[in-house]
Amino acid sequence: MKRQIENMNETDPKMQKTTLFSLAKQHRGKLSLSAGLSVLSAALSLIPFYVIYLIALELLAPPIEQSRVWQLVWVFTGAVIGRFLLYYIALVVSHISAFSLLYDLRISLAQRLGELPLGFFSQRTTGSIKKVLSEDVEQIELFIAHHVPDLAAAIVTPIMTIGLFFVLDWRMALAALVPIPIAFVFISRMTQGLDKVTAEYHNSLENMNGTIVEYVRGMPVIKVFNQTVDSFTRFQSSVYGYRELATQITKKMAPPYGYFLALVGSGLFFVLTPGVWLYLRGELSLPLLLLFLILGSGYLLPLPQVIGFGSTISNINEGVGRIDKVLQHPPIEAPAQPRVPERYDVEFRDVGFAYGEKQVLRHINLQVAEGTVTALVGPSGAGKTTMARLIPRFWDIHEGEILIGGINVKEMMPETLMDKVAFVFQDIFMFTDTVYENIRMGLPDVTEADVIAAAQAAQAHEFVEKLPQGYQTVIGEGGQTHISGGEKQRISIARAILKNAPIIILDEATAFADPENEAKIQEAFSQLMHDKTVIVIAHRLSSITDADQIVVINEGQIVERGQHEQLLAKPALYKRLWEAHTAAQDWSFQMEDRRERQKHEG
Amino acid sequence: MLNAMQIITGNERKKLNQVTRLNILRFMLDGAPSGFLILVLWELFKPRDEISLFKLMAFIGGMLAALLLTMVVSRTAYSRIHLHAYELTAETRLRLGEHLRRLSMGFYKTHDPGDVTALLLQDMTKVESVFSHIYGDVVAALVTPFVTILFLLFIDWRMALAVIVTAPLAVPVLMLSQKVGAYFAKKQMAARNDSISRMLEYAQGIQDIKAFNLTGAKFQRLDNSLKALREAGIRFEAAIGSLVVTYQMMLELSFTTILLLGTFLLAQGTLDVPTFLIFLVAGYSLYRPLQALAVFLGELRFMSLAAERILKVLDVKPLPEPDIPQAPESFDIEFKNVTFRYGDQDVLQNVSFKIPEKSMTALVGPSGSGKTTITNLIARFWDVNEGDVLVGGQNVQAYTAENLLASMSAIFQDVYLFHDTIYNNIKVGNQNASWEEVIAAAQAAQCHEFVTKLPDGYETVVGEGGSTLSGGEKQRISIARAILKDAPIILLDEATASLDPENEAQIQAAIGQLVQSKTLIVIAHRLSTIANANQILVLEKGSIVERGTHDDLLAADGLYTNLWKQQSRARGWKFSHGRKKEGASQIKTSVEREK
């Protein structure tokens, strides 16, 4: 029922279908083979009926020849075995092509995801990307593997049967056609005037989904604030709301569909009446009548399957749409004549950048000399992170240009650019793999000594050695060994050290700052930065007072630049930030009585 | 199917029975056309002059009546079964929701919220479809053939047995297919789970994957797991498909026995032609539903997995609640020889300490040393394995979860906001608060300024999880909630104060407002913030290794002193290539300022 409802909400199934079929193109051969075998199998399924007809002929014209019966038994056996064998092959072939298609699709999705600007990912949750790769693709398997052979048979069987009727007796064939328009009347009555209710149904479904997500995700908060009853009431009303709409729709749709099912099961009636009449008039032989009757009991049964097919298509439509969106998202353009930088200074020339409507950066001009440290500071939302992320082309800019060694980043191969820039951000990801591989990250021509040296420089060697299997310990979500945030950060710095890129972009992280780790992370940073061009997004101003250049950003523009002392000399934003920062550094938890005491001491 | 039924029906077996009866009736009526067909045939096989036109008309009329009746019953049965499915699913969702509400916070700490949500949504929908779709199909696949075979036995038992002569061979194959299916399904599920983790990893790690040029098939691990999934999928279908097809084929080959036995009995003279013909027609129509059974059972097995997942959660026991509900009256806290294990890992070992009311205690130590566990045990997210946790002189187990949690506020790094107005999100702290009180709390928590700048002020609706606000803003809203709640015990992760360095000062001011005259327990990262604590507990590997005030601990020259020195050094560290000499003096000044 629900599947059929969802079908109705679909506005443009035709277009979606073509995308799906174009996805399946490479496997067209196998799929046609599967459909063809399935149709052959469906044709063989009519043979037993013909055998019954022939036996009836024998029975009604005695004496019965035993050899003839044996002959028919063999024909029957052959037809049954052949039919199931062909169906089995069709199923296996369709599954092979379905699973291969899934594999191809996922690999090309993974490939395309790798070519997309990283900005694509910051607009989406990883959950939604995983959903495309995993669930959306999986739905296609179901569709292709089962529906291609089954649907081929479901469409062909009624057509072949009625075709056979026409060959045998056109009047009977016409009678057999009668229930088909009636069936379609029921189906169209089922769908009539549903649009409004369907929209409401989807709203209530969405509402229930949203409420349930909140109910579960918010449960810790709800419990702490003792509001489980209240929130349960909301949960309850959304569940009831959904049931109410589902009930309404069922009341509307179920009766015609019930009629439809009853009709489909009663094909016999439409054949029996004219058959008996014709037989009594002597215009139809008894064996032939029998043949009509046994074929008549089943020829309509595949119809619900054909109806159901439409809803399955719409079920996967949305998923196919999402897959398409990824596949058709323009990747980072690679230049026709790629260039490779030889120097590693970084320059922003009149760069402007907007996320959609929202202007984030305006007229940014900045020069970062090779081998110097530049700090980006400013209030949150000022645009410092965006600025840093434009250098490795997370997004492409439409105003101005960004140059490395005098070459526009768009003129380099994306791979070259990635080789030249290393970044260490706050959100660190560990793969479920050994520490060794997590540091090596697939870099070619790396020896074990190199990996260990990088780990040592990143202050990671010591703790790695202490892990159960040293460098061979599996970490990451699926691993058995948990490592702390600070340790993860040091591994990510080791990665960057091993990569040895001439330009380094750092997001100064403070979240994992337990004191022991903090000192080590800082030492690791120092090792990493050695002789590199460094751009750091600074949060704690005290750590960047020695930077060669401090760039103060506010509301998407550079408002101040210079060295620490120069900036402090002006009564502007930097000075204000610095004062707030130093005050925060000295803050401590104060209980009233303590304060009193301190006053005395002070 | 049984477990799905168990979940969905609960105490409402009766309703199910009613629906079942209706369905059985509907599928018996499905057999009616065949019954009338047999009667018609019987009549037609008589010599021409004995055929009664009246009887034929009556039979055809009966068939029409049966068709109309089937339509009515089918309409009712189809509606009822869906209405009941929706009703029972709604009830079951509520039952599961009610159960989830009673589970301890520990459950939520150890289960992925995405998985729990899936139980209430997708898995429940699957259970629903067991009921609304497959249940009817299975009943149909069994009832219709059963009725027909009874009828045929009545006509000629020898021929009737021939109709299902291969069943004793076919049914074991069907059962085997279920076993084999379960075996391969498990393998496929393992491959599937593995590939899902790989895919998730690919999505989560894309930044690093790109940075290291490892995209697409070059990312070997993803490629391998996808290949393994492809193989497992094909193997599963090939294996189960071969058995299902064999079952269906064997069943249908019974029909050859009808042909041979029929001709034999006919020659013997113990069977007449009309009966033989009836067996040919009615016997053959028996196989289709029985063959379909194999497919339905497969679907059922798949759907049952969802039911199993739901049952597993329904089986999780909530923490026991006391019979006589009490509420804490004083708010000192004590741990007496507390040991807590997670799995077989000791997280806390024999921890004892006392926290007097309205004092401040700081928990210090490397990550994984058990700081957060201590706060979780105070709030009774879990029960301890050994020892006692006391609040107000009573074991926490003596209070209802509700009363215990009413006495404390927790401010941690992960803040959850509801898809609702900011006003209501703050009001979560105390449903009875007035508008003025909410605003006052927002002001105290330094929220007022940024909230009034939003387009609709306090009526601005935030995204689910608070996605439209910055980390620091969410943090301050959570502090406003806590201020509004005004609980006597505050559990606080100090990192929240430095989560958003630009707003650090404001968050600190907000926390300062919150903690006045409360029993305060702080998980500390920056030691300078807790120098005034009444008591500092230094933890290492689940044990308290040092305790005392800041000055006591510095005098003891142990782990704390070591941490303090490291941190002081770290605070003077700078991003530079070390070419500037002035840096050194700056470190000195900042260290001096510390003292």
- Residue-by-residue DSSP string for B96-161: HHHHHHHS-HHHHHHS-HHHHHHIIIIIHHHHHHIIIIIHHHHHHHHHHHHHHHHHHHHH-HHHHH
Is the Cβ–Cβ distance between B158 and B169 less than 8 Å?
no
Higher pLDDT, A593 or A421: A421
Backbone angles phi, psi at A361, to 5 degrees: -130, 140
Is the Cβ–Cβ distance between B530 and B524 less than 8 Å?
yes
End-to-end CA distance of chain B: 71
Residues of chain B with confidence (pLDDT) below 70:
1-16, 216-218, 413, 464-468, 495-502, 578-595
Strands (E), B509-590: 519-523, 535-540, 543-548
Q: Exposed/middle/buried for A104, CB within 10 Å: 0-12, 13-18, 19+?
A: middle
Sign of CA dihedral A527, A528, A532, A538: negative
Looking at the DSSP bridge assignments, the partners of residue A506 are A424, A536
Task: Quote the tokens at residue B557.
Answer: 């020259």
Residue B486 DSSP code: T
pLDDT exceeds cutoff 90 at A324? no
Q: Looking at residue B378, what is its pLDDT?
A: 92
Is the Cβ–Cβ distance between A48 and A80 less than 8 Å?
yes
Is the Cβ–Cβ distance between A194 and A257 less than 8 Å?
no
Task: For residues B87 and B18, give the distance between their C-alpha atoms in angstroms, rounded to a whole number.
Answer: 14
Helices A66-115/B220-268 angle, 10° precision: 170
pLDDT exceeds cutoff 70 at A342? yes
CA distance A29 to chain B (A): 18
pLDDT exceeds cutoff 90 at A80? yes
Q: Looking at residue A1, what is its pLDDT?
A: 42
Q: Looking at residue A113, what is its pLDDT?
A: 84
> A with B: how many residue pairs have Cβ under 8 Å apart?
493
Q: Does the distance separating the beta carbons of B263 and A66 come in below 8 Å? A: yes
Chain B CB contacts of A224 under 8 Å are 105, 379, 405, 408-410
Strands (E), A369-460: 373-377, 399-404, 407-408, 421-424, 433-434
Task: For residues B27 and B141, give the distance between their C-alpha atoms in angstroms, rounded to a whole number.
Answer: 9
Higher pLDDT, A518 or B378: B378
Q: Which residue has the tokens 């168990």?
A: B6
Chain B CB contacts of A214 under 8 Å are 418-419, 464
Taking the CB of residue B123, how many other CB atoms lie within 10 A of it? 22
Q: Looking at residue B595, what is its pLDDT?
A: 37
Chain B CB contacts of A103 under 8 Å are 226-227, 229-230
Using CB atoms, pick whichever of A476, A477, A546 lies closest to residue B574.
Answer: A546
Q: What is the pLDDT of residues A266-281, one digit of tens each?
A: 888 888 888 888 988 8
Is the Cβ–Cβ distance between A123 and A401 less than 8 Å?
no
Length of chain A: 602
CA distance A177 to chain B (A): 17
Please state the three-class secondary structure of A347-409 as a single string.
EEEEEEEEECCEEEEEEEEEEECCCCEEEEECCCCCCHHHHHHHCCCCCCCCEEEEEECCEEH
Q: Which residue has the tokens 């099961």?
A: A265
User: Average pLDDT, stretch A71-86?
Assistant: 93
Q: What is the pLDDT of residues A571-584, one digit of tens each?
A: 898 998 888 888 88
Of A209, A205, A210, A208, whose CA–CA distance to A246 is shortest?
A205
Q: Does the distance separating the beta carbons of B285 and A99 come in below 8 Å? A: no
Report the amino acid identity of residue B594: E
Using CB atoms, pick whichever of A59, A99, A476 lies closest to residue B277.
Answer: A59
DSSP codes, A263-301: HHTTHHHHHHHHHHHHHHTTSS-HHHHHHHHHHHTTTTT
Using CB atoms, pick whichever of A223, A258, A522 lies closest to residue B79.
Answer: A258
Q: Does the distance separating the beta carbons of A423 and B34 come in below 8 Å? A: no
Rg (CA), chain B: 36
Higher pLDDT, A316 or B315: B315
ipTM confidence score: 0.79
Q: Does the distance separating the beta carbons of B199 and A106 come in below 8 Å? A: yes
Taking the CB of residue A315, how many other CB atoms lie within 10 A of it? 18
Q: What is the pLDDT of residues A191-204, one digit of tens each?
A: 777 777 777 888 88
Taking the CB of residue B276, how many other CB atoms lie within 10 A of it? 21
**What number of CA atoms fall less than 13 Å from residue B366's CA on the CB side?**
16
Q: Looking at residue B12, what is its pLDDT?
A: 60
| DSSP H/E element including A552 | strand A549-554
Q: Looking at residue B592, what is its pLDDT?
A: 39
Is the Cβ–Cβ distance between B79 and B71 less than 8 Å?
no
Task: For residues A535 and A392, give the distance between their C-alpha atoms in angstroms, rounded to a whole number.
Answer: 12
Report the alpha-carbon angle A339-A345-A350, nearest 5: 85
Taking the CB of residue A343, how many other CB atoms lie within 10 A of it? 13
Residue spans of alpha helices (H) in A192-227:
195-217, 219-224
Q: Looking at residue B22, what is its pLDDT?
A: 77
Q: Mutation test of the interface with chain A: which of B74, B103, B420, choosing the one with the most A Cβ atoms within 10 A?
A: B74
Looking at the DSSP bridge assignments, the partners of residue B390 are B334, B395
CA distance A363 to chain B (A): 24
Task: For residues B164 and A407, give the distance between their C-alpha atoms in angstroms, rounded to a whole number.
Answer: 81
Task: For residues A109 and B551, give the distance between their C-alpha atoms in angstroms, rounded to a whole number.
Answer: 59
Q: Does the distance separating the beta carbons of B71 and A263 come in below 8 Å? A: yes
| DSSP H/E element including A69 | helix A66-115
Chain B CB contacts of A102 under 8 Å are 229-230, 233
Report the alpha-carbon angle A404-A405-A406, nearest 5: 85
For residue A5, the Cα-to-chain-centroid distance in whole angstroms is 24
Task: For residues A322 and A16, give the distance between their C-alpha atoms in angstroms, rounded to a whole number.
Answer: 11
Report the amino acid identity of residue B501: P
Q: Does the distance separating the beta carbons of B195 and A375 come in below 8 Å? A: no
Looking at the DSSP bridge assignments, the partners of residue B411 are B492
Q: Looking at residue B178, what is its pLDDT?
A: 86
Taking the CB of residue A447, how many other CB atoms lie within 10 A of it? 9
Using CB atoms, pick whichever of B90, B517, B529 lies closest to residue A587.
Answer: B529
Task: For residues B239 and A187, give the distance between their C-alpha atoms in angstroms, rounded to a whole number.
Answer: 38
Q: Mutation test of the interface with chain B: which of A84, A136, A271, A489, choosing the one with the most B Cβ atoms within 10 A?
A: A84
- Report cis status (omega within 30 of 0) of the bond before A335: no
Taking the CB of residue B414, how many other CB atoms lie within 10 A of it? 12
Chain B CB contacts of A592 under 8 Å are 516-517
Chain B CB contacts of A70 under 8 Å are 260
Task: Quote the tokens at residue B545.
Answer: 């290794």
Q: Looking at residue A4, what is its pLDDT?
A: 42
Report the alpha-carbon angle A59-A61-A66, nearest 5: 55
Q: Does the distance separating the beta carbons of A531 and B577 come in below 8 Å? A: yes
Nearest CA in chain B to A519: B570
* Residues above pLDDT 70, as percent of chain A: 90
Residue A425 three-state SS: coil
Chain A CB contacts of B87 under 8 Å are 243, 247
Q: What is the pLDDT of residues B275-320, one digit of tens each?
A: 888 888 778 878 888 888 888 888 887 777 788 888 888 888 888 8
Q: Looking at residue B208, what is its pLDDT?
A: 78
Taking the CB of residue A67, how many other CB atoms lie within 10 A of it? 7
Chain A CB contacts of B531 under 8 Å are 588
pLDDT category at A394 given cuts 50, 70, 90 is: confident
Chain B CB contacts of A218 under 8 Å are 416, 418
Residue B403 three-state SS: helix
Is the Cβ–Cβ distance between A9 and A313 less than 8 Å?
no
Q: Mutation test of the interface with chain B: which of A587, A592, A595, choosing the one with the most B Cβ atoms within 10 A?
A: A587
Q: Exposed/middle/buried for B395, CB within 10 Å: 0-12, 13-18, 19+?
A: middle
Residue A148 three-state SS: helix
pLDDT category at A596 given cuts 50, 70, 90 is: very low
Task: For residues B23 and B392, give the distance between their C-alpha atoms in angstroms, rounded to a whole number.
Answer: 61
CA distance B387 to chain A (A): 24
| DSSP H/E element including A600 | helix A592-601
Task: For residues A288 and A270, give the distance between their C-alpha atoms in angstroms, rounded to a whole number.
Answer: 16
Chain A CB contacts of B276 under 8 Å are 59
Higher pLDDT, B108 or A337: A337
Q: Looking at residue B497, what is its pLDDT?
A: 61
Q: Looking at residue A534, what is its pLDDT?
A: 92
Mean pLDDT of chain A: 83
Task: For residues B181 and B187, give the distance between their C-alpha atoms in angstroms, rounded to a whole number.
Answer: 10
Task: For residues A22 and A497, give the distance between their C-alpha atoms in angstroms, rounded to a whole number.
Answer: 45
Q: Mutation test of the interface with chain B: which of A30, A107, A140, A221, choosing the one with the most B Cβ atoms within 10 A?
A: A221
Q: Which residue has the tokens 């299997």?
A: A469
Is the Cβ–Cβ distance between B438 and B498 less than 8 Å?
no
Q: Mutation test of the interface with chain B: which of A59, A83, A216, A226, choosing the one with the most B Cβ atoms within 10 A?
A: A216
Report the alpha-carbon angle B487-B490-B492, nearest 5: 145
Q: Looking at residue A2, what is its pLDDT?
A: 42
Chain B CB contacts of A293 under 8 Å are 37, 41, 281
